[in-house]
Amino acid sequence: MRVVFFFTNLLFFLFGVLFGFSQTTIPLSESIKSIAFKYNQTLLGKNVFVFDPAMDMHEVQTLIDSIYAGQVYPTNEFSNNRYALLFKPGTYKLDVRVGYYMHIMGLGNSPEDVVIVGAVRSNASKGHVLCNFWRTAENLTIVPAIDSTNTWAVSQAAPLRRVYVKGNLKLFEGASSGGFMADCKIEGTVFSGSQQQWLTRNSVFKKWDGGVWNMVYIGVSNAPKENWPEKPVTTIKETPEVREKPFWTFSGGKFVLKIPALKKNSIGVDWDNRNNNEKAISIDDFYVAKPDVDNAASINKALKKGKHILFTPGIYSLSESLKIMLPGTVMMGIGMATLVPEKGNKVIEVFDVNGVTIAGLLIDAALIPSETLMQVGNPRSKKNHAANPTYLFDLFFRVGGPHEGSATRCLVINSNNVCVDHVWLWRADHGDGVGWDKNKCANGLIVNGDNITVYGLFNEHFQEYQTLWNGDKGRVFFYQSEMPYDPPTVDAWKHGETNGYASYKVANNVKTHQAWGVGIYNVFYDAPVIVDQAIETPPAVENGFYHKVIFWLNGNKESIVKSIINGKGGSVNSSNRKATME
């Protein structure tokens, strides 16, 4: 999401598009290469660096700075580089600047086992963070040493998880457009500033300062009190059911993945009591995939043998879908590992089985269109998985951006009892291969299963419904969506007698559906687009949507969104830019 409301940022972006910012990388010098080799962990590939406190911190700092220099906005937004920086338990004095496709990870049983004195920070480039995407930090403690505040100024696809900040946390620099934080503890104040929307789940802080359009807190200690719409706050005391994202540890000379237990009606972090019943999986039980070695055949062979899959950093071209057929399978990436279909195939196909975990992957559409990029459960899946649900964490989809690509839909969930904990589905509005007839994609998310829960649904720019929900008893905690920027004419974005497509569509057969903190925004650059409603549901479901906001950001001054939900609620246009409902 780019917030075109800020004209200077828009002009800078257009300059980049017109003059073709390249996908360049900055090569490491020979001296840096020697440091990289020295600190490389062979098991996990050439783009994973495993540090311990006994190392020369000057050398480590030099290496981190060199990696960061090649991962900055705007020239490296769509770089092919991918990196994971892993820290064994101990204390480090470092300034860890985090750019595109950089994954910063502590390897302790608790975030307190890895302490960074200095910073782990994501800062503005060119005066804003509207494109600070595709980066993450998790499972460590930060002691801010530059001042009392650590800066994590980001927009989409940049989660903070299991992070303990012994000071304040700042989430913005210039224009900022939303993010996600879970299982985090902040000793001081969180300053959200210009962040238009943000989801905080199962965390604790002393105070939260700021809020623009849609700030959602669920299972958060000291969360702000609701006073909608005077304050853009949605506060839900307890998280009904969730398990935290699995995390890697290092002890006894071996990597071990810890999978936290399922928890119900929870508040705050779950790592400070040290009484969790975590499942442990040795690295020996994983097939460690590497982009210069592996393909769909080798990975599927490992899956059939009962191996879990760890994708090391890089880009994987897949000629067929990766098929998860066994219950309890874990498939996860580090360093923003990226999967791309070769032949119009699916990328991941999960059978209708219990307890699958998929986490930390970036999935790109390709030039040969795919019908579906990822499918969870077979069509018409009927099994009940309530006792052992499938969990999806930090999954990011792109249609266009790094290159031209198309699909009909990104993510389809057919199984019942699936939980999604943070997803960004993005039909690109900038980058390569971008245009109404280039990066084609109808839907970001289609849900056919029952009892599906999503914490943090970011879903933008698709050509029909951004979200199409056909299953019953669905729940969404926080929704952030922009309609497509580029419908060429009014008629090109009509269906039947309906003007435009609602961003969030609940099918007529659905009897029960709930959503909290629903923010939908529009920018129509070319045509004076008319949209009848931002949300479309059966009448019986309308009251299940709590705290709704729509906003007219920019674009053709004759464009209009006529209502919030089913013809009800205020409209937005160039002269009345914001409308809210309970």
pLDDT tens sequence for the chain (582 residues): 554 433 333 333 333 333 233 334 456 778 888 888 888 877 999 999 999 999 999 999 999 999 999 999 999 999 999 999 999 999 999 999 999 999 999 999 999 999 999 999 999 988 999 999 999 999 999 999 988 999 999 999 999 999 999 999 999 999 999 899 999 999 999 999 999 999 999 999 999 999 999 999 999 999 999 999 999 999 999 999 999 999 999 988 999 999 999 999 999 999 987 656 899 999 999 999 999 999 999 999 999 999 999 999 999 999 999 999 999 999 999 999 999 999 999 999 999 999 999 999 999 999 999 999 999 999 999 999 999 999 999 999 999 999 999 999 999 999 999 999 999 999 999 999 999 999 999 999 999 999 999 999 999 999 999 999 999 999 999 999 999 999 999 999 999 999 999 999 999 999 999 999 999 999 999 889 999 999 999 999 999 999 999 999 999 999 999 999 999 999 999 999 999 999
Catalytically active residues are 482
- pTM equals 0.95
pLDDT of residue 187: 98
Q: Give residue 101's pLDDT.
A: 98
The rounded distance, in Å, linking the Cα atoms of 221 and 435 is: 44
Contact 223, 205 (CB under 8 A): no
- pLDDT value, residue 154: 98
- pLDDT at residue 273, as a whole number: 73
The pLDDT of residue 15 is: 30
Distance of CA 541 to the CA centre of its chain: 27
User: What 3-state class would DSSP assign to 548?
Assistant: strand
8 A C-beta contact, residue 391 and residue 421: yes
The predicted pLDDT at position 74 comes to 93
| Pairing status of strand 239-242 against strand 233-236 | unpaired
- Residue 301: CB partners within 8 Å, gap ≥ 6? none
* Domains defined for the chain, CATH in brackets: 7-242 (no CATH), 301-482 (2.160.20.10)
Q: What are the φ and ψ backbone dihedral angles of 189, each rounded to 5 degrees?
A: -100, 140
Of the candidates 75, 146, 134, 143, the residue with the CA atom closest to the CA atom of residue 112: 143
As beta bridge partners, residue 286 has: 308
| pLDDT for 16 | 35
